[in-house]
């Protein structure tokens, strides 16, 4: 077969045929017509011959035409086969390893849940939910009500139970509609919609549609209908950043999915095709139209009876308001405690599994974790309200004045504040990370992240505690309350150093006095005995402070930072509170923790707390320190006297930095350890001026509330501490000749000798009377000597 371009009488022809043969014949035909028109006198024989030749030519032309059609058809078949082969190779190429979707290893974003223990029942209840872009709670097939499954099938894919992943008639109709009218919906089965939800591929293209079809066919082969409908109902988007029917049931109806009615089930399925226009908070009317159509389909397809249909149509859907939906559904602002839990879990995931921060955060927000917190909800709820400080009449905060030391002017703004409360075993129960209404999630938490100067509140930790444990001091040991460094223009000390907050020096004072009145000079003298390096090591290695600076031009291994709290950076309320627990539990340090266990979405333990105490000081050292700190609250001129409430024993220590910029109270009861910081977080140059020192008052008002109903009990004792009378002048055990005495508590291993300044008798613990040299004589023996 060939194409030929020929010329007869100057007229070109394009035709199919065999080379040369048809050309000559066509030329004869042209010449014959010419002869007939010019020679009208031809004989009848020539006319008959010409007529016969025309018929033969027409017959041959017909044969050529049919041969041409056959040839064209053959070419089309071959071309179709080639195209089919190319398409097959193409499809196989881009479907390689993509058509096989495993629902058993399906990775979606799941909402994580925080739990808190209900003190009345001991059971853990849902506290709040954490999620990223998608709020989803997976629900298993057996917990999904049948009428919800039926609503999905009736409304979205009525032949779901019959087809093998693709409804070919709907696919053909949707394809034709797309090319003729530009439509893009109507052809996808539930299986295909699931694939879109999993892959996120929703653009309309031939390539994606072919890929989707093959995936749907593959998915149906490898999974049951139950698995597919389960995955589908857990993946559909239902408005308001909510995915899956469980989260949507909580969001819109404040209930578990298993409790949904037929009408409520139809309402959720009605959202799927256009969530922004059919969600239930703002578009209930649009939802109703689609809902009623779905109910009609459920009835027509035999999923519900006439009675059920009538009841569902008559049911008035009751949607909870968004602000008051169930606590487990709304995206409520997290408390400072919940913020802290989130960050602690992220950090622990990084430490245990080597995740980056971003990966660990994604696991927490999108991994469907179940996090069991240590929060005491009653305590946290009270802290949230009290520190929001929206009720002026019942405020826990004393009104103070702020004075800017740079501009020499008063400021109207009240100081900020933070508080941490834990049991004396590291278990956190309440956190207040700031004062005022909390404005968002995961904002600055002053309790955990605010680094502030501790002032004198550091002294029991950095000075007196370790010195007591090394037997360098005891209750009544005498120290000189006079400047450690005298003013000298030839040295760095242009004034006497250190000065005391009470503005004078008292001469010889006991350790009890120095702690009770927060005497700076004695703290420095004891620190010199201990040495700053030992103090620093104790703070970092035993008490686990992370913000102290150990080297460099400005470091904390010195008298002012460790003796007076003038640290290079500062400390956090969290670390201070954790450290003070050693005086409440017999000398043990527990790392603070805000959760007990974390499970993944499959119920596997991901993280678990196993609090292991570290012996920091001995039991008897801790007991004596506890009694000294009780004197800060109950003793004469104690700086923490306003922290006392009721009959509950209270121990604690105040702390104030230079110019009253930062103020602290670290307090303890037999039940809890609590730390309060009070100051201006955004400007360290604002001095707090007050009539009554605020931190112990704040501490008292909180603790008084959370101790309501608790039985009064005493701090733990070691059995190795004795109460004895000492001479106020010498600090030694008093004799009958001592003019002024007082009572103190002593470790059995570190009892001072009897007073040598006032010779006389002394009564032993067993009731014996001894002379001041230590010789013991019973009463009867004294009478015999006389």
Q: Cis (ω within 30 of 0) for the bond into 467?
A: no
**What pLDDT score does 100 carry?**
59
**What pLDDT score does 97 carry?**
47
Q: Average pLDDT, stretch 567-592? A: 98
Structural tokens at position 657: 């930095």
Confidence of residue 776 (pLDDT cuts 50, 70, 90): very low
Does any domain span residue 405?
A: no
Q: Return the CATH number at 169.
A: 1.10.3810.10
- What is residue 85's three-state secondary structure? helix
Q: Among positive and negative, which fits the CA dihedral 347, 349, 351, 355?
A: negative
**What pLDDT score does 383 carry?**
98
- Contact residues for 127 (Cβ-Cβ < 8 A; gap 6+): 113, 114, 115, 116, 327, 338, 373, 375, 377
The string of DSSP codes covering 563-625 is HH---SS-B-HHHHHHHHGGGTTTSEE---BSEEEEE-TTS-EEEE-----EE-S-HHHHHHH
The better pLDDT of the pair 77, 9 is held by 77
**What pLDDT score does 349 carry?**
98
- Contact residues for 1 (Cβ-Cβ < 8 A; gap 6+): 16, 71
Q: Average pLDDT, stretch 394-421? A: 92
Does any domain span residue 529?
A: yes
Could you tell me if 605 and 478 are in contact, meaning their C-beta atoms sit under 8 angstroms apart? Answer: no
Chain-wide mean pLDDT for the chain?
86
Q: Write phi, then psi, for 14 (nearest 5 degrees).
A: -115, 120
Q: Is residue 652 located within the same domain as residue 730?
A: no
Could you tell me if 394 and 613 are in contact, meaning their C-beta atoms sit under 8 angstroms apart? Answer: no
Q: Is residue 465 located within the same domain as residue 588?
A: yes
Confidence of residue 79 (pLDDT cuts 50, 70, 90): low
Does any domain span residue 343?
A: no
Instruction: Evaluate if residue 38 carries a pLDDT over 90.
Output: no
Q: Is residue 154 located within the same domain as residue 212?
A: yes
Task: Give dist(CA 137, CA 147) in Å, integer.
Answer: 19
pLDDT digits (tens, 9 = 90+) for 93-152: 545 444 556 676 566 778 899 999 999 999 999 999 887 767 888 899 999 999 999 999
Does any domain span residue 99?
A: no
Instruction: Evaluate if residue 587 carries a pLDDT over 70.
Output: yes
Confidence of residue 385 (pLDDT cuts 50, 70, 90): very high
Instruction: Evaluate if residue 230 carries a pLDDT over 60.
Output: yes
Task: Give dist(CA 251, CA 235) in Å, integer.
Answer: 16
Q: Is residue 16 located within the same domain as residue 127?
A: no
Q: Is residue 656 located within the same domain as residue 542?
A: yes
Domain boundary among 302, 324, 346: 324
Q: Average pLDDT, stretch 452-479? A: 98
Does any domain span residue 401?
A: no
Query: The domain containing residue 750 runs over which residues?
Result: 721-785
Task: Give dist(CA 433, CA 418) in Å, integer.
Answer: 5
Instruction: Evaluate if residue 731 carries a pLDDT over 80.
Output: yes
Q: Is residue 177 located within the same domain as residue 269?
A: yes
The better pLDDT of the pair 127, 785 is held by 127
Counting the structural domains of the chain, the total is 4
**What pLDDT score does 199 carry?**
78
Could you tell me if 341 and 373 are in contact, meaning their C-beta atoms sit under 8 angstroms apart? Answer: yes
H or E element at residue 22: helix 21-38
Task: Give dist(CA 136, CA 601) in Å, integer.
Answer: 11
Instruction: Evaluate if residue 490 carries a pLDDT over 60.
Output: yes
Does any domain span residue 354?
A: no
Instruction: Evaluate if residue 379 carries a pLDDT over 50.
Output: yes
Instruction: Evaluate if residue 13 carries a pLDDT over 50.
Output: no
Instruction: Evaluate if residue 12 carries a pLDDT over 90.
Output: no
Q: Is residue 675 located within the same domain as residue 747?
A: no
Confidence of residue 215 (pLDDT cuts 50, 70, 90): confident
The better pLDDT of the pair 176, 308 is held by 308
Q: Average pLDDT, stretch 277-299? A: 95
Angle at alpha carbon of residue 694, lines to 646 and 337, rounded to 5°: 80
**What pLDDT score does 53 carry?**
63
Q: Is residue 60 located within the same domain as residue 144?
A: no
**What pLDDT score does 92 carry?**
52
Domain boundary among 63, 80, 97: 80
pTM of the model: 0.76
Task: Give dist(CA 617, CA 282) in Å, integer.
Answer: 62
Q: Average pLDDT, stretch 255-275? A: 96
- What angle separates helix 21-38 from helix 44-95, to the nearest 10 degrees? 140
**What pLDDT score does 585 carry?**
98
The better pLDDT of the pair 41, 150 is held by 150
Does any domain span residue 767?
A: yes
Could you tell me if 667 and 644 are in contact, meaning their C-beta atoms sit under 8 angstroms apart? Answer: no
Q: Is residue 139 located within the same domain as residue 116?
A: yes
Q: Is residue 23 located within the same domain as residue 66?
A: yes
Q: Return the CATH number at 539.
A: 3.40.710.10
**What pLDDT score does 104 carry?**
67
The better pLDDT of the pair 65, 761 is held by 761
pLDDT digits (tens, 9 = 90+) for 688-708: 998 889 999 999 999 999 999
**What pLDDT score does 561 carry?**
98
Instruction: Evaluate if residue 775 carries a pLDDT over 80.
Output: no
Task: Give dist(CA 348, CA 328) in Å, integer.
Answer: 25
Phi-psi domain of 298 (left: phi exceeds 0; alpha: psi -120 through 50; beta: other) = alpha
CA 376 to mean position of chain CA atoms: 18
Q: Is residue 500 located within the same domain as residue 615?
A: yes
Task: Give dist(CA 80, CA 60) in Å, integer.
Answer: 30
Q: Is residue 687 located within the same domain as residue 778?
A: no
**What pLDDT score does 262 carry?**
98
Task: Give dist(CA 768, CA 765) in Å, integer.
Answer: 7
**What pLDDT score does 37 carry?**
46
Confidence of residue 741 (pLDDT cuts 50, 70, 90): very high
The string of DSSP codes covering 572-584 is -HHHHHHHHGGGT
Does any domain span residue 634?
A: yes
Domain boundary among 673, 706, 739: 706
């Amino acid at each position: 077969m060939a194409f030929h371009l020929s010329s007869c009488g100057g007229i070109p022809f394009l035709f199919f045929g065999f080379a040369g043969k048809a050309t000559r014949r066509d030329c004869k035909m042209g010449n014959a017509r010419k002869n007939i028109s010019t020679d009208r006198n031809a004989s009848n024989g020539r006319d008959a011959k010409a007529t016969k030749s025309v018929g033969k030519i027409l017959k041959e032309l017909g044969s050529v035409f049919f041969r041409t059609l056959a040839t064209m058809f053959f070419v089309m078949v071959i071309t179709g086969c080639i195209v089919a082969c190319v398409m097959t190779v193409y499809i196989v190429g881009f479907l390689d390893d993509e058509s096989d979707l495993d629902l058993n290893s399906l990775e979606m974003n799941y909402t994580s849940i925080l739990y808190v223990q209900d003190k009345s029942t001991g059971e853990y209840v849902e506290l709040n939910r954490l999620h990223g872009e998608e709020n989803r709670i997976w629900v298993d097939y057996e917990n999904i009500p049948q009428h919800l499954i039926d609503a999905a099938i009736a409304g979205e894919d009525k032949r779901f139970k019959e087809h093998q992943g693709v409804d070919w008639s709907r696919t053909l109709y949707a394809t034709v509609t797309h090319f003729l009218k530009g439509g893009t919906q109507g052809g996808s089965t539930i299986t295909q919609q699931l694939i879109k939800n999993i892959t996120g591929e929703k653009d309309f293209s031939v390539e994606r549609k072919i890929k989707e079809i093959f995936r749907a066919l593959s998915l149906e082969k490898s999974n049951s209908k139950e698995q597919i409908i389960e995955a589908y109902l857990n993946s559909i988007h239902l408005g308001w950043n909510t995915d899956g029917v469980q989260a949507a049931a909580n969001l819109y109806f404040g209930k578990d999915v298993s409790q949904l009615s037929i009408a409520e089930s139809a309402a959720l399925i009605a959202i799927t095709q256009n969530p922004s226009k059919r969600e239930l908070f703002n578009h209930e009317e649009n939802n109703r139209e689609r809902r009623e159509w779905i109910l009609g389909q459920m009835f027509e397809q035999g999923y519900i009876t006439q009675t059920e249909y009538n009841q569902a149509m008559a049911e008035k859907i009751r949607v909870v308001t968004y602000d008051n939906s169930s606590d487990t559904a709304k995206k409520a602002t997290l408390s400072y405690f919940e913020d802290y839990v989130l960050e602690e879990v992220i950090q622990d995931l990084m430490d245990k599994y080597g995740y980056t921060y971003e990966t660990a955060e994604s696991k927490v927000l999108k991994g469907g974790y179940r996090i069991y917190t240590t929060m005491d909800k009653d305590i946290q709820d009270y802290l949230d309200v009290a520190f929001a400080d929206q009720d002026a009449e019942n405020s826990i905060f004393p009104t103070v004045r702020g004075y800017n030391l740079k501009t020499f002017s008063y400021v109207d703004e009240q100081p900020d504040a933070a508080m941490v409360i834990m049991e004396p075993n590291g278990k956190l129960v309440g956190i207040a990370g700031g004062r005022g209404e909390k404005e968002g999630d995961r904002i600055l938490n002053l309790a955990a992240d605010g680094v502030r100067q501790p002032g004198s509140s550091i002294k029991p930790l950095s000075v007196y505690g370790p010195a007591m444990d090394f037997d360098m001091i005891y209750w009544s040991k005498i120290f000189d309350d006079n400047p450690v460094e005298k003013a000298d223009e030839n040295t760095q000390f242009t004034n006497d150093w250190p000065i005391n907050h009470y503005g004078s020096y008292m001469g010889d004072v006991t350790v009890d006095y120095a702690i009770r009145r927060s005497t700076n000079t004695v703290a420095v003298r004891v620190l010199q005995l201990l040495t700053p390096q030992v103090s620093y090591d104790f703070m970092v290695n035993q008490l686990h402070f992370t913000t102290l600076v150990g080297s460099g031009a400005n470091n904390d291994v010195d008298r002012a930072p460790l003796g007076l709290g003038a640290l290079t950076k500062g400390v956090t309320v969290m670390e201070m509170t954790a450290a003070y627990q050693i005086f409440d539990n017999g000398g043990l340090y527990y790392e603070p923790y805000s959760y007990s266990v974390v499970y993944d979405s499959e119920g596997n333990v991901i993280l678990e707390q196993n609090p292991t105490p570290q012996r920091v000081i001995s039991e008897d050292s801790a007991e004596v320190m506890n009694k000294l700190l009780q004197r800060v609250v109950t003793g004469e001129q104690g700086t923490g006297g306003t922290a006392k409430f009721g009959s509950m024993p209270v121990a604690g220590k105040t702390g104030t930095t230079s110019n009253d910029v930062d103020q602290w109270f670290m307090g303890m009861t037999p039940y809890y350890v609590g730390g309060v910081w009070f100051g201006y977080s955004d400007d360290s140059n604002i001095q707090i001026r007050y009539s009554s020192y605020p931190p112990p008052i704040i501490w008292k008002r909180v603790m008084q509330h959370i101790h309501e109903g608790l039985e009064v009990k005493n701090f733990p004792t070691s059995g190795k501490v004795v109460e004895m009378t000492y001479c106020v002048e010498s600090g030694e055990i008093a004799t009958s000749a001592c003019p002024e005495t007082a009572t103190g508590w002593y470790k059995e291993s570190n009892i001072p000798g009897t007073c040598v300044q006032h010779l006389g008798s002394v009564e032993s613990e067993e009731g014996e009377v001894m002379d001041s040299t230590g010789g013991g004589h019973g009463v009867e023996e004294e009478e015999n000597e006389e």
